[in-house]
């Protein structure tokens, strides 16, 4: 999964990036072009335990890729986001919008007062306007094409629906599109089409305070679709903790009353928001986690590993991770009848350990 970290200057984007990736200031080059990028392993405990069971030559965890964008500026009158930014977002699966909640310090807020609700509104408006400007340009073109008798009716009505949504300040990710429509919209790379997570970047003393509770409710009231997308984080302290050894980090987090690191919490949130799950393949050569959309049919899941697996799919031998741990191995599971044979259409579940049978 590719996650783009965006927001106003000095909101703590780079600090959060470091907290999520364990990067440090040396990793950021001054005067860089384009975003800083870092890939981190998803340290899924289930993979670790499967690896202990199989002692494979290779253990492969899933990966998350984070992109830290330098201050995003709007491109003057056009209302569109900066062209370089728009160009680099093509493959991003979701955005994390960092909003500054920590109080004034040496670094003043670029808009003066710290006002998180205003920042959310402003940024959302910017995203919406950027998409709207692209939609309007395209509509203009399509209307001309229509006059010339070109077959553009479908795209026209699709984009009019987008326009309507954006004009009523609703993100495009709130609309239902058919797979065909989705395909058609893909090339536009609309900003508001992607899932949005809002990271409220607080000072550690603000964690769990009524003030933050109130702010979250206000944001949810203004933007109902952000319910379950708010992520409160004390980025600075988490960044410092991310530099420590695992043991020290755990002790520090506990002291602060933080149940789980921002690194892990955000991964869970991204999987949930994007509807992704993990299944596992095991063996002496490799134990590996695969990230797929939830409920993906078994044959398609096989195709994620190799197109031959999908083409020649015969069946999937499936056992839930916990069941495998309980019986102690695939042969034992087979003996006890716990290994299920599933067909092409079986919707893969999170935590399934799968052996695919296929012929080519």
Under the criterion CB under 6 A, does residue 38 sit at the interface with ligand GDP?
Answer: no
DSSP 331-357: HHHHHTT-SEEE-TT-B--TTEEEEEE
Say if CB 68 and CB 35 are below 8 A apart.
yes
Q: Which residue is nearest to ligand GDP (CB)?
A: 12
CB of 6 to Mg ion, least distance (A): 10
12 binds, among ligand GDP, Mg ion, none (CB under 5 to 8 A by kind): ligand GDP
Under the criterion CB under 6 A, does residue 203 sit at the interface with ligand GDP?
Answer: yes
Under the criterion CB under 5 A, does residue 14 sit at the interface with Mg ion?
Answer: yes
User: How many residues make up the chain in this entry?
Assistant: 360
Question: Cα(181)–Cα(178) distance, rounded to whole angstroms?
Answer: 5
CA angle at residue 25 from 260 to 75, to 5 degrees?
95
Say if CB 1 and CB 94 are below 8 A apart.
yes
Question: Cα(37)–Cα(67) distance, rounded to whole angstroms?
Answer: 5
Q: Which stretch binds ligand GDP (CB under 6 A): 3-11, 41-49, 89-97, 138-146?
A: 3-11
CA angle at residue 20 from 212 to 97, to 5 degrees?
50
**Is the CB of 69 or the CB of 190 nearer to ligand GDP?**
69
Residue 198's DSSP bridge partners are 97, 230
9 binds, among ligand GDP, Mg ion, none (CB under 5 to 8 A by kind): ligand GDP
Within residues 60-119, the interface with ligand GDP by CB under 6 A covers: 102, 105, 107
**Residue from the set 1, 3, 6, 15 that interacts with ligand GDP by CB under 6 A:** 15
Under the criterion CB under 6 A, does residue 261 sit at the interface with ligand GDP?
Answer: no
**Is the CB of 46 or the CB of 97 nearer to ligand GDP?**
97
Within residues 210-239, the interface with ligand GDP by CB under 6 A covers: 234-236
**Which residues, at least 6 apart from 105, have a Cβ–Cβ distance to it below 8 Å?**
none
Residues that bind ligand GDP (CB under 6 A): 7, 9-15, 102, 105, 107, 201, 203, 234-236
């Amino acid at each position: 999964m590719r996650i783009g970290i965006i927001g106003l200057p000095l909101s703590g984007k780079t600090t959060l990036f470091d907290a999520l990736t364990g990067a440090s200031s040396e990793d950021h080059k001054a005067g860089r072009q384009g975003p800083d990028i870092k890939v981190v392993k998803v340290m899924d405990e289930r993979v670790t335990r499967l690896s202990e069971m199989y002692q494979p030559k290779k253990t492969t965890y899933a990966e998350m890729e984070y992109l830290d964008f330098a201050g995003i500026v709007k491109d003057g009158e056009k209302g569109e986001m900066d062209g370089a930014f728009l160009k680099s977002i093509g493959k991003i699966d979701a955005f994390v919008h960092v909003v500054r909640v920590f109080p004034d310090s040496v670094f003043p807020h670029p808009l003066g007062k710290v006002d998180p609700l205003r920042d959310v509104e402003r940024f959302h408006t910017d995203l919406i306007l950027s998409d709207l400007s692209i939609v309007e340009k395209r509509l203009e073109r399509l209307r001309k094409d229509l006059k010339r008798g070109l077959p553009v009716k479908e795209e026209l009505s699709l984009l009019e629906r987008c326009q309507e949504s954006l004009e009523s300040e609703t993100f495009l990710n709130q609309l239902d599109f058919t797979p065909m429509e989705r395909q058609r919209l893909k090339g536009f790379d609309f900003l508001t089409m992607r899932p949005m997570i809002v990271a409220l970047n607080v000072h550690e003393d603000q964690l769990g305070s009524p003030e933050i509770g109130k702010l979250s409710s206000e944001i949810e009231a203004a933007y109902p679709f952000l319910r379950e997308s708010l992520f409160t984080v004390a980025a600075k302290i988490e960044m410092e903790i991310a530099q420590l050894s695992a043991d020290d980090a755990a002790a520090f987090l506990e002291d602060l009353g933080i149940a789980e690191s921002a690194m892990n919490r955000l991964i869970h949130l991204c999987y949930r928001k994007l509807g992704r799950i993990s299944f596992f393949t095991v063996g002496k050569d490799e134990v590996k986690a695969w990230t797929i959309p939830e409920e993906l049919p078994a044959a398609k899941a096989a195709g994620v590993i190799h197109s031959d697996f999908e083409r020649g799919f015969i069946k999937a031998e499936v056992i839930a991770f916990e069941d495998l741990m309980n019986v102690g191995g695939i042969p034992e599971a087979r003996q006890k009848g716990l290994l299920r044979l599933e067909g092409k259409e079986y919707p893969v579940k999170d935590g399934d350990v799968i052996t695919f049978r296929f012929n080519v």
